[in-house]
C-alpha cells in the first residue's frame, strides 16, 4: 500500500499484513444500506448504486453518507447516492481486526507458485520462497483433493 507521496521523497510504502485488515464485513450493515438508488433529479431516472458501473467516486466530508458517482472520470453525468441509513450518524471506523492470525493459502495456489518459481530470480524469488512457507489450507469437498 502506498502510504504517502511527495515530490522530494516520492513514495512511502507500507507492507500490509493480516493485522492491518479491519473487519468491515460485520461493521457496515448497522449504519449503511445494502442497496441504494440515486437521488432523483428532474427529468432523470434513478440509478441503482452498482460499484462496477462507475469509474469515479466523490466523497465530501460536509455531506457524510453521500457519494457522487461518474461513469467516466471527470464525466459530465453524475449521480448522488445516500448510503447511510436514515437518522444514523456517520459511525466511527471499526477497530476490530478481521483476522487474528495469517489466513492460510489454498495448497493448489502454493503448488502453482512452486511451478513458476524456476522462471523467477533475485528478490522476487526470495519473496516466493517466503510465500511457499506460509500455512496452507485444504478445502473440504474440493473434487481435486
How is residue 131 written as a grid cell? Answer: 510465500
* 129 lies in some domain: yes
In this prediction, residues 59-79 reach a mean pLDDT of 93
Residue 49, in any domain of the structure = no
Q: Is residue 58 situated within a structural domain?
A: no
> Is 64 inside any structural domain?
no
Looking at the structure of the chain, the number of domains it has is 1
111 falls within a domain: yes
Separation between Cα atoms, residue 28 and residue 42, nearest integer Å: 31
State the average pLDDT for the chain. 88
Domain residue limits at 127: 105-137
Note whether residue 3 is domain-resident: no
Q: Which three cell numbers stand for residue 96?
A: 476490530
Across the range 56-68, mean pLDDT stands at 92
pLDDT digits (tens, 9 = 90+) for 80-133: 999 999 877 788 888 999 999 988 999 999 999 999 999 998 888 998 999 999
Amino acid at each position: 500500500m502506498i502510504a504517502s507521496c511527495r515530490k522530494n521523497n516520492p513514495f512511502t510504502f507500507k507492507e500490509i499484513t493480516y493485522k492491518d485488515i479491519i473487519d468491515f464485513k460485520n461493521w457496515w450493515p448497522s449504519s449503511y444500506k445494502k442497496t441504494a438508488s440515486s437521488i432523483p433529479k428532474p427529468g432523470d431516472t434513478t440509478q441503482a448504486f452498482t460499484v462496477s458501473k462507475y469509474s469515479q467516486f466523490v466523497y465530501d466530508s460536509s455531506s457524510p453518507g453521500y457519494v457522487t458517482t461518474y461513469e467516466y472520470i471527470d464525466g459530465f453525468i453524475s449521480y448522488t447516492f445516500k448510503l447511510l441509513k436514515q437518522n444514523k450518524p456517520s459511525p466511527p471506523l471499526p477497530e476490530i481486526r478481521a483476522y487474528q492470525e495469517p489466513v492460510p493459502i489454498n495448497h493448489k495456489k502454493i503448488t502453482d507458485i512452486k511451478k513458476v518459481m524456476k522462471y523467477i530470480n533475485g528478490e522476487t524469488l526470495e519473496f516466493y520462497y517466503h510465500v511457499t512457507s506460509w500455512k496452507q489450507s485444504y478445502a473440504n469437498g474440493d473434487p481435486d483433493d
